[in-house]
Structure 1
Amino acid sequence: MRAMVAERLGGPDVLTPAYLPDPAPGPGQTLLDVEAAGLNFADAERLRGAYLPPQLPFIPGGEVVGRAPDGRRMLAFASSAFATKVLVKDPVEIPEDLPAGAALALLVQGLTAWHLLRTAARILPGETVVVNAAAGGVGHLAIQLAKEFGAGRVIGTASTPDKRALVLRLGADAAIPGEADGYAERIREANGGALADVILDAVGGPVFEAAPHALAPFGRLITYGTSGGIDPTPVDPGILSERNITVGGYWLGAHLRLPDSRAAAPLHDLLALTASGRVHPLVGAEYPLDQAATALTALTARRTTGKVILRMA
């Protein structure tokens, strides 16, 4: 099989092409001929050794669309996904007409968005939901799912006019700049003078610090990333108790480690919503396998939109 291998830690440029023996399936495993692999920021972090440090050498990647030996087209989590063949457990069959990029967008990003709203924030009908970084991989799906799950009003934040226009096309009721200065005031203005019930935040830093001031009583602030910086962020306990605000975190990996991974039912829900045209995953650039370093560089530099994938053919 062909694969992209990291012999050392570093940036995307440490990836080199290699020919390796095909992996042999063990008990409960399925060998897939890979059609496409999805790229995530976590792949670049793992290359640097900052996230689940790997044992060298290793093949990055965590999600694939491929063919099972019986010909079925499958979607699955996978270690060593930047390769033409991978071993997986519990793959899910997907339709022939579902683009690989759309399917892959539903796995890490889609499941994260689903659980942020259902499991972490426990969204209630009619609530106002704010999605920070709403044009991103998780954010663009959270905007659509919040509407699907009964939100009364959905507000997305994004950094540029083009991204804010995209957020509106995705179904948000309002799209506003996302910087910390004036954050709560902009949310009030976009929400008819009222505060929000739920804020989903992948930015962290000063934006996370400003978010509680934009929440109504019994509001929920859920963090799932720190793209704006990882320095410790103070949260005023006074405003939390005064308004009965809950602050929580969410990481999909914790769900996937449970005996029943909590992935199957939400994934089938996401696939059904996509098949019916009620959710539209954004599909971005496609790169050949041997350009994995170029693809990861573009992804981490935020030069991409939608789900970025590697094609094996």
Structure 2
Amino acid sequence: MRAIVIEETGGPEVLRPSEVPDPVPGPGEVLIDIEARGVNFIDIYQRGGLYDVPLPFVPGMEAAGVITAVGEGVEDLSVGQRAGWAMAPGAYADRAVVKAALVVPVPDAVTSEQAAALLLQGMTAHYLTHSVHPVAEGETVLVHAAAGGTGLLLVRLAKELGARVIGTVSSEEKERIAREAGADEIIRYTETPVAEAVRDLTGGEGVAAVYDGVGRDTFDASLASLRPRGVLALFGQSSGPVEPVDPQRLNGAGSVYLTRPSLAHFVADRRELLWRAGDLFSLVGGGRLDPRIGGRYPLAEAGAAQADLASRRTTGKLVLV
């Protein structure tokens, strides 16, 4: 079968197509014929060596397709069933063996592209808005990179919960896309200081939560945008890691909370995993959520997809098909 195999860390050029043996599921595992794969910043971090992974390595942490074989002991998944997963490697291939505990059934109302575009970023948006800071009706939250894959899902889920959403974007086109997703207010961070604009939009109070997947470039503005006892959820670092923080800054900002969460800790329990995925699939099936596909690439062009994502010029979700 085809697979993108990373032999050494580096730039997009290390993503080389190869022919490798078909995998075989062991006890507690399933084999999935992959139809669509999500492209995520974690793939870039692993490829470049920021996140340490054993080499050689088949990247890709999210995909959807059809189960073609099951290992011993697998009881709640079956051959022929449509399924997807997130937070397990091996998606940049024709087939992958995945632990059954990480695999979720995909209903007929959801396409494989939608599932691949939704699971990792969608469950990230879900745990951020339902668990890290459960959004309350009527409160105001700030979403950075609101036209990106995770940003659009954060906007949509926060609106589902009744929030007023302020989003940051870099261009007129991205503003249009974020507003279509439901953002109430938009700040062009290339033109306006973010924290100052947030204070203006909230009558000086600040926001209840900031969902920040950008990191170094936005951290100071995020902290300065919070209301007293607000929550800064720093869930990514697309612009680079944040420098060490003096805890006294949290006091000075109004006894605010800073957390650096990760999806793996919010889907470690299978019941929680199925709850988050099921919520998202129900929204898609009901026509209330449609993950925006910002670009489709052949598997062999994984390097181009990652380069485009890293450029931060894309919108929505990039998928390998």
TM-score of the two chains, using structure 1 as the length reference: 0.90
In the alignment, what sits opposite 1:164? 175
In the alignment, what sits opposite 1:75? 84
Distance 1:283 1:225 in 2: 20
Output one character per residue of 1:273-292: Cα deviation in whole Å (capped at 9) or x when no partner. 11111122111211111122
- Between 5-14 and 92-101, the greater mean CA deviation after superposition: 92-101
For 1:194-233, list aligned pairs within 5 A: 194-205=205-216, 207-232=218-243
Q: Is the Cα–Cα contact under 8 Å of residues 222 and 248 in structure 1 kept in the other structure?
A: yes
In the alignment, what sits opposite 1:115? 127
Structure 1: give runs of 5+ residues left out of the alignment: none
In the alignment, what sits opposite 1:289? 299
Q: Is the Cα–Cα contact under 8 Å of residues 117 and 319 in structure 2 kept in the other structure?
A: no
Distance 2:185 2:310 in 1: 27
Output one character per residue of 1:10-54: Cα deviation in whole Å (capped at 9) or x when no partner. 112112222221111111111111111111111122112211x22
TM-score of the two chains, using structure 2 as the length reference: 0.88
- Between 290-299 and 226-235, the greater mean CA deviation after superposition: 226-235
Distance 1:34 1:242 in 2: 47
CA RMSD in angstroms, aligned pairs only = 2.2
Task: Verify: 1:99 aligned to 2:111, yes or no.
Answer: yes
Distance 1:251 1:180 in 2: 31
Residues 178 and 59 of structure 1: CA distance in aligned 2, closer, same or farther (over 3 Å): same
Amino acid at match of 2:160: E
For 1:1-313, list aligned pairs within 5 A: 1-51=1-51, 53-69=52-68, 70-77=79-86, 78-88=88-98, 89-90=100-101, 91-151=103-163, 153-178=164-189, 182-205=193-216, 207-232=218-243, 234=245, 237=248, 240=251, 243-256=254-267, 258-260=268-270, 262-311=272-321
Distance 2:246 2:187 in 1: 23
Residues 2 and 172 of structure 1: CA distance in aligned 2, closer, same or farther (over 3 Å): same
- Between 154-163 and 221-230, the greater mean CA deviation after superposition: 221-230
- Secondary structure in 1 matching 2:96: strand
Residues 242 and 33 of structure 1: CA distance in aligned 2, closer, same or farther (over 3 Å): closer
- Secondary structure in 2 matching 1:240: helix
Amino acid at match of 1:208: F
Amino acid at match of 1:75: G
Distance 1:45 1:223 in 2: 16
Q: Is the Cα–Cα contact under 8 Å of residues 37 and 117 in structure 2 kept in the other structure?
A: no
Q: Is the Cα–Cα contact under 8 Å of residues 64 and 112 in structure 2 kept in the other structure?
A: yes
Q: Is the Cα–Cα contact under 8 Å of residues 36 and 65 in structure 2 kept in the other structure?
A: yes
Shift of 1:61: 1.0
Amino acid at match of 2:188: P
Amino acid at match of 2:145: A
Shift of 1:193: 5.0
Shift of 1:254: 2.8
Q: Is the Cα–Cα contact under 8 Å of residues 147 and 175 in structure 2 kept in the other structure?
A: yes
Residues 236 and 206 of structure 1: CA distance in aligned 2, closer, same or farther (over 3 Å): farther
Q: Is the Cα–Cα contact under 8 Å of residues 206 and 233 in structure 1 kept in the other structure?
A: no
Residues 304 and 210 of structure 1: CA distance in aligned 2, closer, same or farther (over 3 Å): closer
- Secondary structure in 1 matching 2:222: helix
Q: Is the Cα–Cα contact under 8 Å of residues 101 and 308 in structure 1 kept in the other structure?
A: no
The share of aligned pairs that are identical, in percent, is 39
Residues 221 and 235 of structure 1: CA distance in aligned 2, closer, same or farther (over 3 Å): farther
Amino acid at match of 1:72: Q
- Between 300-309 and 88-97, the greater mean CA deviation after superposition: 88-97
Distance 1:35 1:55 in 2: 26
Shift of 1:165: 1.6
Shift of 1:120: 0.9
- Secondary structure in 1 matching 2:167: strand
**Matched residue count:** 308
Distance 1:227 1:2 in 2: 29
Shift of 1:142: 0.4
Output one character per residue of 1:85-143: Cα deviation in whole Å (capped at 9) or x when no partner. 11122422223453333212221100111111111112222111111111111111000
Distance 2:195 2:178 in 1: 19
Shift of 1:171: 0.5
- Secondary structure in 1 matching 2:158: helix
